[in-house]
Structure 1
Amino acid sequence: MGIYSLSYKNLRRNRMRNLSTLMRITFGVIVLTILLSSGIGLNSTVKQVENLTGDVIPHNASNQNTNAVEIVLNSARETVNSVFGTQFTSSEFSKNVANILMNLIYLLDFIASLVFLVGLFGIWNAMNLNMLERKREFGLLKVMGFTENQIILSTILEAGILGLIGAVVGTIMGVGGVTFASQVLNFNQLSVLVPWYLPLGIILITTLLSMLLAFYPAWYGCRQDVSNSLRYE
């Protein structure tokens, strides 16, 4: 039995726990994709607002989008001035909106980081439980001739497969949600919300971190004495 067949066997044997781990990873990646794409979209809007205030020089900005933002800002400014009796100029109102959007971007990034960490903790917790249940199995594998490196690599491969599947499914669903929302909001520049590097980056980082988080539990489990492992129930 090789490393790949060993990993495949363990993935099939622990279906329910692996399914639970996949669901946590997928949910985390979905939320992460939506939040990051929203932050990218807000950042693009902030740049267009700054263009209107003259704080920055436009670089390849879309005139259509900039004009649309200007119309919305003017309408919002007139409403605010009318309701609250303020006298915001166009420049002052645009700067205030830009500051609010930047703070919202920071908040979205913070929430996205928390969601991502929760997903990674789910992987780490699942691998720890897996190692406890497989303590006796590790002892048997050593007796059968498997080296510690082979056992560790098979465990890391399992985590990598779970992370990859969860990341791919979550990214597809997240991008689908962003696409649907952009169509509902009549936002035609999907490439602004979901640049090509965003899905690839999320999939790559999730897979690599999943493998990294599985290393220590696997290493610790393999370092246990064979006789103690075989007596473990």
Structure 2
Amino acid sequence: MGTGIAQVAATHGCTVNLIDSAPDALDRSKFNLQSTLNRLVEKGKVSEVDSNNILSKIKWSIEMEDIASSELVIEAVIEDMIVKQQLFTKIEPLVSNNCIIATNTSSLSVFDIASVCSNPSRVLGVHFFNPVPLMKLVEVIPAEQTDTTLIEGVKSTLISWGKTVVTAKDTPGFIVNRVARPYYGEALRIYDEGIADFATIDWAMKKFGGFRMGPFELMD
């Protein structure tokens, strides 16, 4: 998901440092984005000049120190509280006191993630949906510790990226994933009862349900 967030930010003029500890993951990210942009150019949805500009605004790096001058850092690692907390303790000393640190968690407690920071008031949730360039909605989730004066600035940035922004309480699943739990549950029951396989369920929900991704694609 980090690649999609980087694409959206760069498309709207932001300079982006895309950090990953695994060089192979960075190579895949760059290849996938280049392939995506090539397809958009072929379809006439993006000019070659704009495609090159987007790529030029993104730096792929394994060096965490490259985030030092960032005004906004968005974490998008796996949904594991310990992993996220460990990462936040590494991010905080590297950035300025004015840098906002956001988590892209889809359901974990933003309060708990922020609690490991010496200045948790600059931490909040910014939850994108996959695929990020196509899905307009973003949930902004202030934690109990979040400085409320930061919220409107973050929302304005996201709106400038072409997103539709809603503010959610810091509760499990926030808004969309809490509503989606029955969607996943019924899909699993349909499979367990032998009514249809994974691929058929995903196909039906995309073809007739209007979803961009099927329930099993989303769960993956």
**TM norm structure 2:** 0.24
- Would you tell me which structure has more strand in proportion to its own residues? 2
- Would you tell me which structure has more helix in proportion to its own residues? 1
**TM norm structure 1:** 0.23
- Higher Cα Rg: structure 1 or 2? 1
Higher relative contact order (CA 8 A, sep 6+): 1
